[in-house]
Chains A and B, each alone.
Chain A
Amino acid sequence: MTDAAVRSGVAGRLGESALRPDGVAKVQGSFEFSGDRSADGFLWGATLRSPHPYARIVRIDVSGAWRIDGVEAIVTAEDVPGVPTYGLISHDQPVFAHDVVRFVGEPVAAVAADHPETCRRALAAIVVEYEVLEPLTDPERAVDGSHPPIHPDGNVIRHQRIVRGDQHLQGVVVVEGEYELGMQDQAFLGLEAALAVPDPGGAGVELHVATQWLHEDRTQIAKCLALPEERVRLVLGGVGGAFGAREDISLQVHTCLLALRTGRPVRMAYSRSESFLGHVHRHPCRIWMRHHADADGRLLRVEARFVFDGGAYASTSSAVLLNGITHTQGPYRCENATVDGWAVRTNNLPCGAMRGFGVVQACFAHEGQMDKLAAACGLDPLEIRLRNAMKTGDRLITGQVVESVAPVERLIRELAALPLPDEPVGGRDGDPLRLPGGAGLTADAGQVRRGIGWAVSIKNLMYSEGFDDFSTARVRLGDGVATVKFATSEVGQGFVTLAGQIARTVLGVDDVVLAPIDTTIGSAGSTSASRQTWMSGGAVDGACRLVRERLFEMVGSAHDIDPLRLEIDGTDVIDTMGTLRISVTEATKGIELDETFEHHHRPTEDLDESGQGNCHTAFAFAAHRAVVDVDPELGLVKVVQVATVQDVGRALNPLSVTGQIEGGIAQGVGLAVMEEIILVGGHVRNASFTDYLLPTFLDMPDVVIGLVEEPEPQAPLGAKGVGEPPTVSSTPAVVAALRDALGKDLDRVPVRPTDIVF
Chain B
Amino acid sequence: MSVLVPTSLDAALQAIAAAPDATVLAGGTDLMVEINGGHRRVAGTVVVVNRVPELCTWYHDPRSGTLRIGAGVTYAEIERDPIGQWVPALAQAARTVGSPQIRHAATIGGNVGTCSPAGDGLPVLAALDAVVELQSSAGTRLVPFGEFMVGPKRTVRQPGELITAITVPVLSGWQGYAKVGVRNAMVIAVASAALVVGDGSVSLALGSVGPVILRCPEVEALVAELADFGERQLSVDAIDRCREAARRAARPIDDHRSTADYRRHAVGVLAGRLLRRAFPNE
List the interface of chain A (C-beta within 8 A of B): 120, 271, 273, 433, 436-444, 447, 633-636, 638, 673-674, 678, 680, 685-686, 690-691, 693, 695-699, 752-754, 757-758
Given that A634-B269, A753-B258 are contacting pairs, would A439 and B95 also be in contact in the complex, using a CB cutoff of 8 Å? Answer: yes
Kindly list chain B residues whose C-beta atoms are within 8 Å of the C-beta of A753: 180, 182, 190, 258, 262, 266
Given known contacts A273-B37, A634-B266, A758-B261, A686 and B183 CB-to-CB distance under 8 angstroms: no
Indicate which residue in A120, A441, A693, A758 contacts B178 across the interface (CB closer than 8 Å): A441
- A-chain residues with CB within 8 Å of residue B265 when the two chains form the complex: 757-758
Chain A residues within 8 Å of B261, by CB: 754, 758
B180 / chain A contacts, CB cutoff of 8 Å: 437, 440, 442, 634, 636, 753
B186 at the interface (CB under 8 A from A): yes
- In the complex, which of the residues A120, A443, A447, A674 contacts B183, with contact meaning CB atoms closer than 8 Å? A674
Report B234-266 CB contacts with A as 1/0, cut-off 8 Å: 000000000000000000000111110110011
Contacts of B257 in A (CB 8 A): 691
Q: What are 8 inter-chain pairs, A to B, with CB distance below 8 A?
A: A273-B37, A438-B185, A439-B92, A441-B92, A442-B179, A693-B183, A693-B187, A696-B183
Binding site secondary structure of chain A: loop
Tell me whether B164 is interfacial, beta carbon within 8 Å.
no
- Cβ–Cβ < 8 Å partners of B182 in chain A: 636, 673-674, 693, 752-753
Cβ contacts under 8 Å, A680 to chain B: 256
- A433 near B262 with CB under 8 A, answer no
Tell whether, in the assembled complex, residue B258 and residue A698 are in contact, meaning their CB atoms are under 8 Å apart. no
Interface size classification for chain B = 35 or more
Given contacts A273-B37, A440-B187, A754-B262, 16 further A-B contacts (CB under 8 A): A437-B181, A437-B184, A440-B96, A440-B179, A440-B180, A442-B180, A443-B273, A691-B188, A693-B187, A695-B183, A696-B185, A698-B183, A698-B184, A752-B182, A757-B262, A757-B266
Which residues of B sit under 8 angstroms from A634, Cβ to Cβ?
A: 180, 266, 269
Q: In the complex the two chains form, is B270's CB within 8 Å of A696's CB? A: no
> Can you list, as one digit per residue, whether each of B167-201 has a CB less than 8 Å from chain A (1) or not (0)?
00000000011111111111111101000000000
Which residues of chain A have C-beta atoms less than 8 A from B230's C-beta? Answer: none
Q: When the two chains form their complex, are residues B96 and A439 in contact, meaning their CB atoms are under 8 A apart?
A: yes
Knowing A634-B269, A686-B256, say if A441 contacts B187 (CB, 8 Å).
no
Q: Which residue of chain A has its CB nearest to the CB of B99? A: A696
Query: Which residues of A are found within 8 Å of B269, using beta-carbon distances?
Result: 442, 633-634
Measured CB to CB, the closest approach of chain B to A574, in angstroms, equals 56
Residues of chain A within 8 A (CB-CB) of B190 are 753
**Taking beta carbons and an 8 Å cutoff, which residues of B are in contact with A?**
33, 36-38, 92, 95-96, 176-190, 192, 255-259, 261-262, 265-266, 269-270, 273, 277
Shortest distance in angstroms between A711's beta carbon and chain B's nearest beta carbon?
Answer: 40
Cβ distance A190 to chain B, nearest Cβ, rounded Å: 17
**Given the complex, which residues of A lie within 8 Å of B189, measured CB to CB?**
440
**Residue contact B183 to A442, C-beta cutoff 8 Å:** no
Q: Which of A438, A636, A754 contacts B259 (CB 8 A)?
A: A754
User: Closest residue to B266 on the A side, CB-wise?
Assistant: A634
Rank and list the top 3 A-B pairs by shortest CB-CB distance, nearest first: A685-B256, A438-B184, A440-B179
* Number of residue pairs A-B, CB distance < 8 angstroms: 95
Which residues of A are found within 8 Å of B270, using beta-carbon distances? 442
Contact of A441 among B38, B177, B259 (CB under 8 A): B177
B266 → A minimal CB distance (Å): 6
A437 CA to B185 CA in the complex, in Å? Answer: 8
CA distance A220 to B126 in the complex (A): 59
Query: Does B185 contact A441, Cβ atoms closer than 8 Å?
Result: no
CA distance A443 to B199 in the complex (A): 26
**Most chain A beta-carbon contacts within 10 A, residue among B38, B95, B184, B269:** B184
A635 to B36, CA, bound (A): 34
A residues in contact with B266, CB < 8 Å: 634, 753, 757
Given A436-B184, A758-B261, residue A442 in contact with residue B256 (CB < 8 A):
no
Tell me, in angstroms, the Cα distance from A481 to B111 when the chains sit together.
60
Known: A439-B185, A699-B185, A752-B182. A444 touches B256 (CB 8 A): no
- A433 near B184: Cβ-Cβ < 8 Å: yes
Q: How far is the CB of B118 from chain A (nearest CB, A)?
A: 11
Distance (whole angstroms) from the CB of A287 to the closest CB of chain B? 24
Q: Closest A residue to B259 by CB, please name it.
A: A754
Residues of chain A contacted by B184 (CB below 8 angstroms):
433, 436-440, 638, 696, 698-699
How far is it, in angstroms, between the C-alpha of A757 and the C-alpha of B36 when the chains are bound? 37
Cα A674 to Cα B184 with chains together (Å): 11
- The answer for the CA separation of A685 and B257 in the assembled complex, in Å, is 9
Tell me the smallest distance from the CB of B119 to a CB of chain A, in Å.
Answer: 14
- Residues of chain A with a CB closer than 8 A to B185's CB: 438-439, 696-699
Chain A residue nearest in CB terms to B276? A444
How far, in angstroms, from A718 to B77 measured CA to CA in the complex?
55
- Give the CA-CA distance A437 to B270 in the complex, in Å: 11
CB pair A690–B178 under 8 Å, yes or no, is no
CA distance A698 to B100 in the complex (A): 13
For B176, what are the chain A residues with a Cβ–Cβ distance below 8 Å?
441
Which residue of A is nearest B183, CB measured? A693
The minimal Cβ–Cβ distance linking A537 to chain B, given in whole angstroms, is: 37
In this complex, what residue of B is CB-closest to A435? B184
Q: Which residues on the B side are within 8 Å of A444 (C-beta)?
A: 273, 277
- Which chain B positions have C-beta within 8 A of A447? 273
- Asked if A440 meets B181 with Cβ closer than 8 Å, knowing A634-B266, A696-B186, A758-B262, the reply is yes
CB distance from A691 to the nearest CB of B (A): 6
Residues in A with CB closer than 8 Å to B178 are 437, 440-442
Residues of B within 8 A of A442 (CB): 178-180, 269-270, 273
What are the residues of chain B within 8 A of A433 when measuring CB–CB? 184
Shortest Cβ distance from A754 into B: residue: B262
CA distance A737 to B33 in the complex (A): 37
- Cα A680 to Cα B270 in complex, Å, equals 29
The residue of chain A having its C-beta at the shortest distance from the C-beta of B187 within the complex is A693
Q: Compute how far the CA of A753 lies from the CA of B270 in the bound complex, rounded to whole angstroms.
A: 14
B269 to chain A, nearest CB (A): 5
Residues of A contacting B177 in the complex (Cβ-Cβ under 8 angstroms): 441
Name the CB-closest residue of B to A750.
B182
Write out the residue numbers on chain A whose beta carbons fall within 8 Å of the beta carbon of B95: 439
Residues of A within 8 A of B277 (CB): 444
Q: In the complex, what residue of chain A is closest to B193 when comparing beta carbons?
A: A442
Tell me, in angstroms, the Cα distance from A273 to B185 when the chains sit together: 21
B36 to A, closest residue via Cβ:
A271
Contacts of B273 on A, CB cut-off 8 Å? 442-444, 447
In the bound complex, what is the Cα–Cα distance between A752 and B186 (angstroms)?
17
Closest B residue by C-beta to A631: B269
Cα-based distance from A758 to B263 in the complex (angstroms)? 12
Q: A586 → chain B, closest Cβ, in Å? A: 54
> Complex Cα distance A757/B182, Å?
13
From A440, A444, A634, residue with most partner B Cβ within 10 Å: A440
Residues of A within 8 A of B33 (CB): 690
C-alpha gap A678/B96 in the complex (Å): 24
Give the shortest distance, in Å, between A666 (CB) and chain B (any CB): 13
Q: Nearest CB to that of A685 among chain B residues?
A: B256
CA distance A437 to B178 in the complex (A): 9
Please, how many angstroms separate the alpha-carbon atoms of A691 and B179 in the complex?
16
A696 to B99, CA, bound (A): 10
Chain A CB within 10 Å — which of B188, B261, B269 has the most? B269
Say how far A45's CB is from chain B's closest CB, in angstroms.
16
Q: How far is the CB of B234 from chain A (nearest CB, A)?
A: 16
Question: How distant is the Cα of A409 from the Cα of B237 in the complex, in angstroms?
Answer: 52
State in angstroms the CA–CA spacing of A757 and B191 once bound together: 15
Determine the distance from Cα of A678 to Cα of B92 in the docked complex, in whole angstroms.
30
When C-beta atoms are compared, the residue in chain A nearest to B270 turns out to be A442
Please measure, in the bound complex, the distance between the C-alpha atom of A673 and the C-alpha atom of B182, giving whole angstroms.
Answer: 8
- Report chain A residues within 8 Å CB of B183: 674, 693, 695-696, 698-699
Chain A neighbourhood of B255, CB < 8 A: 685
Chain A residues near B187: list those with CB within 8 A: 440, 693
A673 vs B187: C-alpha distance when bound (angstroms): 14
User: Is there contact, CB below 8 Å, between B188 and A690?
Assistant: yes
Chain A nearest CB, measured from B259 CB (Å): 6
Smallest Cβ distance from B105 to chain A, in angstroms? Answer: 16
Distance A606 CA – B200 CA, assembled complex (angstroms): 77
